[in-house]
Amino acid sequence: MVENVKAEISDSSNRAGEMYGWYEGMEWNPVEKVILERRSVRKYKDEQVPEKLVRRILEAGRFAPSAGNSQPWRFVVVRDGKMLEEMERYVRLRCRILKFLLDWEGGPLGRLAWLNSQLCIRLMPNELHPIPYGAIRLIAEGKLKLFHGAPTVILILMDRRGVGKPMVDVGICGQNMVLAAHSLGLGTCWVGFVELLNFGTKWKKKLGVKWPYRLMEGIALGYPVGQPDGMIARELHEIDWWEEGRKRTVF
**By CB under 6 A, which span of 36-44, 45-53, 155-163, 204-212 interacts with ligand FMN?**
36-44
- Upper half-sphere CA count for residue 177 (Cβ side, 13 Å): 29
Maximum C-alpha span of the chain: 62
| Nearest-angstrom CA–CA distance, 220 and 188 | 5
Out of 28, 39, 90, 206, the only residue in the binding site for ligand FMN (CB under 6 A) is 39
Cα(189)–Cα(5) distance, integer angstroms: 24
43 binds ligand FMN (CB under 6 A): no
Kind and range of the H or E element at 59?
A: helix 51-62
Q: Least separation, in Å, of the C-beta of 28 and ligand FMN?
A: 16
44 binds ligand FMN (CB under 6 A): no
CB 133, min distance to ligand FMN, A: 12
Q: Least distance to ligand FMN from the beta carbon of 43, Å?
A: 11
Least distance in angstroms from the C-beta of 146 to ligand FMN? 7
| Strand ranges across the sheet with 73-78 | 73-78, 152-159, 213-222, 187-191
**Cβ closer to ligand FMN: 50 or 230?**
230
Distance CA 3, CA 169 (A): 32
Cα angle 130-222-37, degrees, rounded to a multiple of 5 = 65
CB 177 within 8 A of CB 231: no
Q: Which is nearer to ligand FMN, 39 or 114 (CB)?
A: 39
Binding to ligand FMN, residues 186-205 (CB under 6 A): 189-193
Contact 214, 208 (CB under 8 A): no
CA distance 143 to 135: 9
**Degrees to nearest 5, angle at CA 63 with 62 and 66:** 90
How near is the Cβ of 220 to ligand FMN at its closest, in Å?
A: 8
Residue closer to ligand FMN (CB basis): 169 or 217: 217
Task: Rank residues 114 and 149 by Cβ distance to ligand FMN and give the closer one.
Answer: 149
Pick the closer one to ligand FMN by CB: 6 or 148: 148
**List 217, 219, 221, 222, residue binding ligand FMN (CB under 6 A):** 217
For the beta carbon of residue 101, count every other beta carbon within 10 angstroms: 15
How many residues of this chain interact with ligand FMN, rule: CB under 6 A?
Answer: 9
- Whether omega for the bond prior to residue 130 falls within 30 degrees of 0, making it cis, is no
Scan residues 170-189 and list those touching ligand FMN (CB under 6 A). 189
Nearer to ligand FMN, 17 or 224 (CB): 224
Tell me if 40 contacts ligand FMN by CB under 6 A.
yes
Binding residues for ligand FMN, rule: CB under 6 A, are 39-40, 42, 189-193, 217
